[in-house]
Amino acid sequence: MQAVSTIDARPVASIFEADNPGFRENFDEKPFEFSHCFTADHPLFQISRLRRLIENPVTRPGVYFDAGDIRIEQRWDSVPERKQTLEETFDRVDNAGAWILMKRVQKDPDYNDLLVQCLDEVQRMSGRQIDQDKKSQEAIIFLTSPHRVTSYHIDRECNFLMQVRGDKEISVFDRNDRDVLPESELEIFWSKDNNAGVYKPQYQDRAHVFVMRPGTGVHIPVNSPHWLKNGNNVSISLSISYQYKDWRRKYVFQANYYLRKMGISPTPPGKSALLDNAKRLVVQVGLNSKKLLQPAKPAN
């Protein structure tokens, strides 16, 4: 049965344009463009509605923001010091040089309905067993000032980024290009440092570059490096994503990280199912042992 959203008493029979072979042919392998139904006049993407998200004590803890000049290669832990409050930055986003990230907006029931419908459609269109493979799912809204750069990075999530208002340009790189993304960077990313991806400008011409406008979106596979440049206007974007269970990638990369620290050149994931399974088992046993060694909490 096809999911139907009843947000604002206006049913939406389908969020994504169904006639797109990318959902089956390139899903979580290559970036591709798609169409969706969200635009700035949608009730959940009005500026007044977004402000309620930053005021709501349930969703406010998931809001991050910064402002200032950001370089493509800049690490996320070295952004300019904040000089204004979240509310002040939000209210002058048109000229603040700001990037406001509203995570876990699905804690608001209206956005949770939207998230569920999106992933139901993605599962149906892709033919993938998302419900069986995922450990978590999330909806994120980005509010971005004109000309603002979102620096180069990689993510853990399988992501569908949808442009709702304004326009922006996104460069997405092939995660299997080892000039762009060496195995060692992936191992560090999955083990200890979200900023492990290093931008290499000499390979910019290898990126898939998409111009995103309201009603268009881009699929970003897990670990595909990317960076963005906003256009001349305030941008609103919606990200619908999910994380795979840890055994799919995380445990193997973590095992390889420690093997490399020992001076061993590890076999990359996907080259040997036997080795991958052995690494998963070792990491899982180590994690379980660590939990067992933790002191018990005192009884109340």
Q: What is the mean pLDDT of residues 170-185?
A: 98
Contact yes or no for 243/130 (Cβ under 8 A): no
Q: What is the mean pLDDT of residues 261-277?
A: 95
Beta-carbon count within 10 A of 178 CB: 13
Q: pTM for this structure?
A: 0.91
Query: Is 177 a residue whose pLDDT tops 70?
Result: yes
Query: Is 285 a residue whose pLDDT tops 70?
Result: yes
Domains in the chain: ranges and CATH:
7-244 (2.60.120.650), 250-292 (no CATH)
The predicted pLDDT at position 12 comes to 67
CA angle 9, 15, 16 (to 5 degrees): 170
Q: What is the mean pLDDT of residues 78-104?
A: 95
Strand spans (E) along the chain = 32-35, 63-67, 98-102, 134-144, 149-153, 158-165, 168-172, 208-212, 216-220, 226-230, 235-244
**Per-residue confidence band for 97, with pLDDT thresholds at 50, 70 and 90:** very high
Bridge-partner residues for 99, per DSSP? 66, 144
Name the residue with tokens 């004590």. Answer: 57
Query: Is 2 a residue whose pLDDT tops 70?
Result: no
Least confident of 23-27, 137-141, 296-300: 296-300
Bridge-partner residues for 218, per DSSP? 33, 161
**Per-residue confidence band for 88, with pLDDT thresholds at 50, 70 and 90:** very high
Q: pLDDT digits over 48-80, tens only? A: 999 999 999 999 999 999 999 999 999 988 888
Q: What is the mean pLDDT of residues 171-175?
A: 98
Q: What is the mean pLDDT of residues 154-168?
A: 97
The predicted pLDDT at position 296 comes to 52
CA atoms of 70 and 199, how far apart (whole Å) = 13
Q: What is the mean pLDDT of residues 172-196?
A: 97
Residue 87 Cα to chain centre, angstroms: 24
% of the chain with per-residue pLDDT over 90: 86
Query: Is 278 a residue whose pLDDT tops 70?
Result: yes
**Per-residue confidence band for 186, with pLDDT thresholds at 50, 70 and 90:** very high
The predicted pLDDT at position 291 comes to 59
Q: What is the mean pLDDT of residues 200-206?
A: 98
The predicted pLDDT at position 294 comes to 57
Q: What is the mean pLDDT of residues 5-19?
A: 67
Q: What is the mean pLDDT of residues 119-140?
A: 95
